[in-house]
Amino acid sequence: MANGLTYARKTDSTESTKQLAETLAPYLHPGDVVVLSGDLGAGKTQFVQGVAAGLGVSAQVTSPTFNILLEYHDGRIPLYHFDLYRLDDADELENTGYYDVIDADGVSFIEWGEKFPGALPYGYLEVRILVTPEGGRRIIAHALGNRARQLLTVWASLSKTTANAGGFILPGGAPMTTGSIPPIRVEDASVSAGETAFDTDGDAGRASRDA
């Protein structure tokens, strides 16, 4: 994780991880891509379950390990959940519809996307989930590209104060509408003990796939 904006947060249970993920959902737009990394059992699918709840998905969200792709269309926007663990070669992505889906009408969550860095889009949000010695989770989110940076800035600024609340409130008390992402500066992001939000090197993304 070399360039862009990075945000770190600790959770102490499965439910708190899902709650944190749920706070991301209102700010997701069609075309957003989130790459999830972490060891087996770290909680990648649980993170997607939290996002799905925030999007209003009523279907049960399960791991797509054997399906490669599972789709959910009953939420605010379509949710596409990839698991690339069982793929051995990037050429296999073509048969899954991967390239069409990540440019489609919903948000794509990709587990094990780091296996094929050349297939990742120019801009995306990377979420790394680490297991702590205490059994909790350390979640490190990193933005590559302008859109992902904008998304992460808002999420980092607001998630800690709204994980257990019913709405998302902008600084100054103005309500935030779904799909509206204000130009909050990085230094305005609200962080506290155990959390960090810092800009490492501007908006540089990873141009790893030809348009």
Q: What is the pLDDT of residues 126-141, one digit of tens each?
A: 999 999 999 999 999 9
pTM of the model: 0.76
What's the whole-number average pLDDT of the chain?
79
Angle, CA of 132, 88 and 123, to the nearest 5°: 65
pLDDT score, position 160: 54
pLDDT score, position 157: 83
Q: How far apart are CA 41 and CA 105, in angstroms?
A: 29
Least confident range from 79-88, 113-122, 186-195: namely 186-195
Number of residues in the chain: 211
pLDDT score, position 101: 96
pLDDT score, position 188: 31
* Mean pLDDT on 171-177: 32
Specify whether the CB–CB gap between 129 and 122 falls below 8 A: no
Residue 194 reports pLDDT greater than 80: no
Residue 29 reports pLDDT greater than 90: yes
pLDDT score, position 184: 30
pLDDT score, position 3: 58
pLDDT band for 176, please (50, 70, 90 cuts): very low
